[in-house]
Amino acid sequence: MTDERLTGLTERLGVDIDPETLRLALTHRSFAFEQGGIPTNERLEFLGDSVLQLVATESLYLDNPDLPEGRLAKMRAAVVNTRALASIARRYDVGSVLLLGKGEDATGGRDKDSILADTVEALIGACYVSCGPQPAFALVHRLIDSMLTDAVTLGAGMDYKTTLQEASADLSLGAVHYEVTGEGPAHARVFTAVASTGDTVWGTGDGSSKKAAEAVAAEAAMHAISAAHPRYSRRA
């Protein structure tokens, strides 16, 4: 991996992680095994998960003084989960700089939710080790603050498909339909979903599975509906 590609990632993230720690954060166990058992990113992932949990918990606690523990816990789970973290990784093009074994790479590992989510946590851990607590906390805020806002606005669970169905019913838009198409080889297929009500297309989204694509399309549709109907709010 070239230094330019590493620099590109740190610039996108807005952090200055030292190259050695950054490479470690990007080293999947499949690559480490092929290289004779070099260290993997799993220890950094362990650390980053704790930092992520702390920042998410503190933010939800301080910003929502009237919400009970149960709802706060559900909203945190909506943000600190594999799907949400994988979406962050895709936003910052983390998959393109992963160090993967040949087999994992050939079977679409660069777009696997689990690998991408684990790597985001490892990058947070790398920032903590290389830059210290405050830069790491600031990084987490940049990564998740918008999703924390959505978790409060849309409700615990951030199930956009359910939320979209409820919004459509509340606004008398009609039933929600998804049209899904797929492209690419079987081991690296990319699906595209279009979410619509009647003749109105509200959102589109891509994913490594039909379910993932529909979730992204539903999220896009909810943002579009919220913009078109600003007085609409999801019923708790």
DSSP 8-state symbol, 99: B
Judge whether 45 is annotated as a binding position. yes
CB 171 within 8 A of CB 232: yes
11 is in an annotated binding site: no
Largest CA distance in the chain: 60
Rounded to an integer, what distance in angstroms lies between the CA atom of residue 144 and that of residue 75? 12
Provide the pairing of β-strand 200-207 with 176-183.
unpaired
Number of other CB atoms surrounding residue 61 within 10 Å? 13
Cα–Cα distance measured from residue 193 to residue 211, given in angstroms and rounded to the nearest whole number? 9
Q: Is 121 annotated as a binding residue?
A: yes
Evaluate whether 178 touches 194 at the Cβ level (below 8 Å). Answer: yes
Contact 111, 96 (CB under 8 A): no
Radius of gyration in angstroms for the set of CA atoms belonging to the chain, rounded to a whole number: 19
**For 142-161, b where at least 16 C-beta lie within 10 A, e where not — what string?**
ebbeebbebbbebbbebebb
What are the catalytic residues? 49, 121
Enumerate the known binding-site residues for Mg(2+). Answer: 45, 118, 121
Binding-site residue ranges: 45, 118, 121
